[in-house]
Amino acid sequence: MADAVSGEGSLSIRPLRDEPGDYALMARWLSDPRILEWYHGRDDPLDAGGVVARYGPRALGDDPMRPHVVEWNGRPIGYVQCYPLDGWAETSGLVEEPRGAWGIDYFIGEPNLWGRGLGTRAVEAMVRHLFEDRGAARVVSDPRADNPRSIRMLEKAGFRRVRLLPDHERHEGAMRDCVLMERMRQ
């Protein structure tokens, strides 16, 4: 899936491949403390073996989580995953009607590219895919409440704040508040 090619470059999203190159890429990102501050946690870095164990079943389609690599001008720069909310008990309770609802998680893995709107474009492309190709009725995300950059990015991508989720996510040894954000199909 791709967004429109613009003066800012071409952005596309492709499935994470079950191959050493994609696992090495994920291991590089998921061992970087700047990424781990917001995704996984600095106390949970993953080496190549950890990435294969956690993301391999997803790449093979053996897990409801659908992993994707974000590419900008043909270069891998980030990650976005989507999942049906009714796939897990802990996510199906986030909305009144989980059927047709999908969740997303994301990061731009190249910190030198932060602040350029690429995360917004990646999320918009994934949301479009979920609405058009997966028949999603709504897409939700649950960034940590102390991550205003992620919350603003989701708002730019058309999400609205629904409610605070107290003690929703374990991160670096503590339970953290998150914000449920939602974008409805129009």
In a domain, 63, yes or no: yes
Residue 136 belongs to some domain of the structure: yes
> 107 is in which domain, residue-wise?
11-184
In a domain, 32, yes or no: yes
How much is the pLDDT for 4?
44
Helix axis angle, 20-29 relative to 48-59, nearest 10°?
Answer: 120
Query: Crossing angle of helices 118-133/148-156, nearest 10°?
Result: 50
CATH code for position 123: 3.40.630.30
Assess if residue 2 is contained within a domain. Answer: no
Is 23 part of a structural domain of the chain? Answer: yes
Question: Which residue ranges of the chain lie beneath pLDDT 50?
Answer: 4-7
Residue range 36-48, pLDDT digits in tens? 999 989 999 999 9
Structural domain contains residue 73: yes
Tens-place pLDDT, residues 70-93: 999 999 999 999 999 987 777 767
Nearest Cα neighbor of 113 from 66, 153, 60 is 153
- Residue/partner pairs of 183-186 with CB below 8 Å, 24 or more apart: 183/127, 183/138, 183/139, 183/140, 183/157, 183/158, 183/159, 184/137, 184/138, 185/131, 185/136, 185/137, 185/138
pTM of the model: 0.91
What pLDDT is stored for residue 71 in this prediction?
Answer: 97
Residue 56 lies in a domain: yes
Please count the structural domains in the chain.
1
- Looking at the domain assignment, is residue 4 inside a domain? no
**176: burial class by Cβ within 10 Å (0-12, 13-18, 19+)?**
middle
